[in-house]
Structure 1
Amino acid sequence: MIEIDTPDAPDPRQAPHQDFADRPDQPNPADAAPIDMASAVLPRPRTMEMVTRLVGRKPSKLTAFFINSGVALFTFLLGIAALDYINRLLISYPVLGWIAVTLFALFTLAALGMAWREYRAWARFAKIDAMQRKAGTALTEDSMDKAREVTDQLLALYHRRPELEWNRKRLTDRRAETFDARTLLTMAETELLAPLDQEARREIEAASRTVAAATALIPLALADVAAALAANLRMIRRMAEIYGGRAGAVGGWRLARTVITHLIATGAVAAGDDLVQTVAGGGVLAKVSRRFGEGIVNGALTARVGIAAMEVCRPLPFLSQPRPKVGNLLTRGLKGLFGNDDKT
């Protein structure tokens, strides 16, 4: 038997080894982008950006002077015209003239009453703001005296709230058991503010649901902005009412500007840890519907505004109670959109 030397044949059971470093002309699989990390364009919350600019933008001094002087001039001319008309009416038709005088006097009293209500509402909110600062000082200095003052102010603030009657009695009975400022303020937060926090969360969920639905379903360009602006202003007014403040027509707008300023100052307008999953979800939904994905992100930013409103209107900082998260609020709000909201 004659044996012929032949080169070794490659084993078919073993895959051939390819050195891509030696073959630069061939594509390397390691350079391919991972499939799961494909870049997705996130929807831009144009509606809430417009609302934030409308509410939070402070006019320049020249613009404010122009508006104030214009309003003063219009009011002065209107008053002069009304008085001249009433004077001529008294000369021509005395009975009708006196009726006009009576109506003008009633209108003046109503205007003064509304101005007084706006002043009291803003003074009440300023009182809550002072209470926040005093509570922060009490925690920093561990001052029991200041903590007792804040607790007394809280009891006086909510003494006309019948739904908190049992909580007030419980706090009054147990406050003598505490011996440091943080424990006393934590007890006051648990007894008085915890039920109000639940109500505030429901308002934020409702506003987020409204803004998300308005952005997704309203095709008009400015109609969704108007709906989102109205929902956010109503939510901020409700935050003030829930925590014991008042917000009239002018005071509500000033409060909204304060909330937006707080939102920008604390950096909460940027996407944080609790908003990453929400924005990511909006990017996935944007592949199916751009408007729906934008509505999700607008709802998330509305929840951001609601949390900032809670921090501004709340008499105490979050001590033992958990701070609301955007993802949880938006999830519950969207469940309510489909009739599956849990009210417990």
Structure 2
Amino acid sequence: MTRPKGPVLFDLDDSAPRATPSEAPPVPEPDMPDAPRGAAMQTAAALAARRPSRLARVFWGLVGTLLGVAISLAAWDFATGLVARVPMLGYAVTALIAALLLVLIVIAIREMAAFARLGRIDALHRRADAALAGDDLPAARALTDDLVALYKGREDTRWGRTRLAEQRGDQFDASTLLALTEAELLTPLDAAALRQVEGAARQVAAVTALVPLALADVIVALSANIRMIRRIAEIYGGRSGTLGSLRLTRAVMTHLVATGAVAVGDDVISSVAGGSLLSKVSRRFGEGVVNGALTARVGVAAMEVCRPLPFSAGKRPKVRRIITTALSGLFPS
């Protein structure tokens, strides 16, 4: 076979369609094991929603009681022995122990008050459901009075309370009165809660996409969601302590796991990231979008749990819109 002499001309067909970078398939990542979409948030939700067994609760209760008794006896023996050896120093240590007990009592009272506040918000929510179901105008008016008293003294609701006082006399059924109360009192609170949800979704998405450390995304997702739920409760007037926050977080996560809300598909990525090359080239960025979306769902569920009134028709925040607002700058198209 003889080689041709001179240049060789190849005829390229320019009319053939060419793939764009946004249509390129994802780059394989063979060094990383495959994981389901939103694995970090699903793991965090499962950990937060899981209740310990009754046997485990009894075990830890007995362990805590025994440790408390042992520590108390050791502290008492230490203080009395020190008083016998060095009276002035012993009395000083005794005073410190008494101060510690006083602080523990104050913490316990604050935790009980936090549970009472959360219970008050939950009771208002149940009363609203009952008033709407029975179209009970007197019950709706009494509920409105309680809501005004709940937010009395808060500057962010002052203008809404004034408008509500001017217009509530013109409402003659429970649904319109509660809709007016929702629009005037809860609109600024909803806006503040949405900002917390967007911030948490952005944080979780960024850490998932940029930090490759194992379990880092799970830890950040769990801590960010607990902090977000606590702040949402504070916005709506249900300030919770440490135990109250954990209980509230478990209630929200249990609801999400039970309803199957901690699962999203690739349509979430396409709706948020659009043609973003980053989300298509790197699986970590796609995972970040999904975890941010799941955080937004947790935030909306927390708003529903912590809100003293249920969302009226068309007022419930759209998760897709929250994700788009929170992540539009993080994942540019």
TM beyond 0.5: yes
Letter paired with 1:159: K
Question: 2:152 corresponds to which residue?
Answer: 159
The CA deviation at 1:160 is 2.2
Quick one: higher RCO (CA 8 Å, sep 6+), 1 or 2? 2
Gaps of 5+ in 1: 1-35, 340-344
- Contact conserved, 2:26 with 2:282, CA < 8 A, in 1? no
Question: 1:6 corresponds to which residue?
Answer: none
Gaps of 5+ in 2: 1-22, 28-33
Per-residue deviation, residues 216-268 of structure 1 (Å, max 9, x unmatched): 11111122221111110110001100101011111111110011122234443
Matches within 5 A, 1:174-253: 174-253=167-246
Question: 1:135 corresponds to which residue?
Answer: 128
Tell me, yes or no, if structure 1 residue 278 matches structure 2 residue 271. Answer: no
Tell me, what secondary structure is at the counterpart of 2:37?
coil
How far, CA to CA, are the matches of 2:217 and 2:154 in structure 1? Answer: 36
Two-structure CA RMSD over aligned residues (Å): 2.4
State which of 77, 81, 91 in structure 2 corresponds to 1:84: 77
- Contact conserved, 2:46 with 2:253, CA < 8 A, in 1? no
Length, aligned pairs only: 300
- Contact conserved, 1:43 with 1:286, CA < 8 A, in 2? no
How far, CA to CA, are the matches of 1:110 and 1:77 in structure 2? Answer: 20
Letter paired with 1:277: D
The CA deviation at 1:286 is 5.0
Residues 320 and 188 (structure 1), Cα distance of their counterparts in 2 relative to 1, 3 Å cut: farther
Farther-moved stretch of structure 1 (200-209 vs 64-73) = 64-73
Residues 64 and 44 (structure 1), Cα distance of their counterparts in 2 relative to 1, 3 Å cut: same
Matches within 5 A, 1:320-331: 322-331=315-324
Per-residue deviation, residues 104-135 of structure 1 (Å, max 9, x unmatched): 11111111111111111111111110111110
The CA deviation at 1:335 is 3.2
Question: 2:57 corresponds to which residue?
Answer: 64
How far, CA to CA, are the matches of 1:157 and 1:337 in structure 2? Answer: 38
- Contact conserved, 2:26 with 2:281, CA < 8 A, in 1? no
Farther-moved stretch of structure 1 (169-178 vs 124-133) = 169-178
Letter paired with 1:210: Q
Tell me, what secondary structure is at the counterpart of 2:302?
helix
TM-score, normalised with respect to structure 2: 0.84
Question: 2:295 corresponds to which residue?
Answer: 302
Percent of residue pairs identical: 50
Tell me, yes or no, if structure 1 residue 261 matches structure 2 residue 254. Answer: yes
Letter paired with 1:278: V
How far, CA to CA, are the matches of 2:250 and 2:94 in structure 1? Answer: 39
- Contact conserved, 1:43 with 1:290, CA < 8 A, in 2? no
Per-residue deviation, residues 168-211 of structure 1 (Å, max 9, x unmatched): 12112211111000010000000000111111111100000000
How far, CA to CA, are the matches of 1:129 and 1:264 in structure 2? Answer: 21
Letter paired with 1:335: S
State which of 109, 114, 121 in structure 2 corresponds to 1:116: 109
Letter paired with 1:157: L
Question: 1:103 corresponds to which residue?
Answer: 96
Letter paired with 1:188: T
How far, CA to CA, are the matches of 1:294 and 1:283 in structure 2? Answer: 15
- Contact conserved, 2:42 with 2:263, CA < 8 A, in 1? no
TM-score, normalised with respect to structure 1: 0.82
Question: 1:28 corresponds to which residue?
Answer: none
- Contact conserved, 2:26 with 2:280, CA < 8 A, in 1? no
- Contact conserved, 1:277 with 1:327, CA < 8 A, in 2? no
Larger Cα Rg: Structure 1 or Structure 2?
1
Tell me, what secondary structure is at the counterpart of 1:319?
coil
Farther-moved stretch of structure 1 (128-137 vs 168-177) = 168-177
The CA deviation at 1:39 is 12
Question: 2:285 corresponds to which residue?
Answer: 292
- Contact conserved, 2:41 with 2:221, CA < 8 A, in 1? yes
